[in-house]
Copies of this chain bind each other. A is one copy, B any other.
Amino acid sequence: MAQLFYGSFIYSKSLDELEYLHDAAILVDNSGKIVAVEKECGTKEKVVEKFVNQKLVPGDVKVHETVEGQFFFPGFIDTHLHASQYPNVGIFGKSTLLDWLNTYTFPLEASLADPVKARKVYGRVIRKTLSHGTTCAAYYATIDVASTNLLADLCLAAGQRALVGRVCMDQLSPAYYRDETPEAALASTRESIAYIQKIDPGMEIVRPVITPRFAPSCSAPLMKGLGKLAAEMPTLPIQTHISENKNEIALVRELFPPSSTGAKQDSYAGVYDACGLLTDRTILAHAVHLSEDEADLIASRKAKVSHCPCSNSAITSGAARVRWLLEKGVTCGLGTDMSGGYSPSVLEAARLAALVSRHVAMGGDERAKLSVEEVLYLATKGGAEVVGLEAKVGAFEAGMEWDAQLIGLGIVDSEGGVTGVSGGLEEDGNVDVFGWESWQDQVAKWVYNGDDRNTKKVWVRGRLVHERK
């Protein structure tokens, strides 16, 4: 059935500006596509009558409308997370990247070859991220083909837009969790790609993604093989990690001298570039300690960056300079990077992107600070560009698809209680609106104190995929 959404809509117009529409309407056809966006169109009755008269869509139209304290917002794009690590969120102690991988991460990932365990973990991470408004997620699974394919099945069934990557890694990890040879890794990758393309031939919801874990885990032959595969399959995205931690960077320098790959630039980015992996379809997670030359190389290749502030602070990787990347013309989005990051929420990633940018600013460059508008752009439009879906999602425009969340805030009464917007719950989340705030201030309150309780409903391609009861 077609759907008409009426009321308040907020979305990014540009990096530093939000569009606020009120008494507006968006018509979505039965395939989930936005047919019309009507601004300032008066009462709901007028809009309904107008759309009915115009007969823009065949058949009946279901009407949704916002009430006080509510607005529609584009779904969040999580441009980097490891579905397989979800049970470890919050468990990292005082570790940093390389010891964290060996202590916490590899044992858990390896254990998901058990399909019962994989179903439990993947089922949970999909529900959890949907409940936080993540309509699209770029997932790393594990090296296991069957459980990677299960993750794709579960995303498709739940209706969450997803990039699903079988992890490639043929060196340096423990023997119990490693591709045996580059050839075996490539064959397993092809197997998983073929499966995912079979279950969703149009790649409308799930897409395979070529996933070399990161350079230290991959031999040069494996990376070059994946680069060739990427060239052979030009509709597939690529995802990997770069320049997260200083010891990791030293390791890459040691493992991959330019002679080993034929790299023109002696840098981490240079290694990927030499292997055919630095493309305009490449999602690079972290990018914390890049040199000027590396960032320029990334910009020139039009590769994208997934900024993961929660992870970078939690496992003491460093503070990424997002403003600097943006000014170099590098497209950036946000990643939760579970479980280096502890939070499943892109809203929390946005909040922490703002905080980390302030820590960068404390170093002397006031301009580093990211505003509420900017972190929301990264969480939606920026993220859409990072995963190559900017024509479809990230904003509300005719021709795009309806990936959206209904946000509701709490209204404080005269005694300090709250009238919850969903079902009159007494305690309805942590965003309290007193009544005198501007819309800009309400959005800031949501960014800083909001959580999944404020995400009342979530749609992907017009399908309702989550609703708070």
Which A residues form the contact surface with B (CB < 8 A)?
A: 86-87, 89-94, 116, 119-128, 131, 313-316, 318-319, 342-345, 352, 354-355, 358-359, 361-362, 369, 371-372, 412-418, 426-427, 430-432, 434, 436-437, 441, 444-449, 451-452, 468-469
| Cβ-neighbour of A416 out of B90, B126, B416 (below 8 A) | B126
| Cβ-neighbour of A119 out of B125, B343, B414, B444 (below 8 A) | B414
Q: Which residues of B contact A126 (CB under 8 A)?
A: 416
Residue contact A371 to B427, C-beta cutoff 8 Å: no
Given contacts A124-B432, A362-B318, A427-B131, contact A449 B414 (CB under 8 A): no
Residue contact A90 to B355, C-beta cutoff 8 Å: no
The interface centre, meaning the residue of A319, A358, A469 with most chain B CB atoms within 10 A of its CB, is: A358
Given contacts A415-B120, A416-B122, contact A430 B344 (CB under 8 A): yes
Instruction: Give the docked Cα–Cα distance between A355 and B426 (Å).
Output: 32
Instruction: Give the docked Cα–Cα distance between A444 and B417 (Å).
Output: 31
Given known contacts A89-B432, A124-B416, A359-B359, what 5 new A-B pairs fall within 8 Å (CB)?
A89-B449, A90-B431, A313-B358, A314-B358, A427-B468
Residue contact A441 to B91, C-beta cutoff 8 Å: yes
Residue contact A444 to B358, C-beta cutoff 8 Å: no
Residue contact B416 to A87, C-beta cutoff 8 Å: no
Residue contact A451 to B451, C-beta cutoff 8 Å: yes
Closest chain B residue, CB of each to CB of A246: B362
Q: Which residues of B contact A418 (CB under 8 A)?
A: 124
Instruction: Give the docked Cα–Cα distance between A246 and B62 (Å).
Output: 56
Residue contact B314 to A412, C-beta cutoff 8 Å: no
Q: Which residues of B contact A315 (CB under 8 A)?
A: 358
Residue contact A90 to B448, C-beta cutoff 8 Å: yes
Q: List 18 A-B contacts (CB under 8 A).
A: A87-B436, A90-B447, A90-B448, A92-B444, A94-B369, A119-B415, A119-B416, A124-B416, A124-B418, A128-B432, A314-B354, A314-B355, A314-B448, A315-B358, A344-B430, A352-B355, A359-B359, A430-B452
Residue contact A449 to B90, C-beta cutoff 8 Å: yes
Residue contact A359 to B120, C-beta cutoff 8 Å: no
Instruction: Give the docked Cα–Cα distance between A172 and B157 (Å).
Output: 62
Given contacts A87-B434, A371-B93, contact A449 B316 (CB under 8 A): no
Closest chain B residue, CB of each to CB of A358: B316
Give the 5 A-B residue pairs with the shortest CB-CB distance, closest first: A123-B416, A90-B448, A124-B416, A342-B448, A90-B445
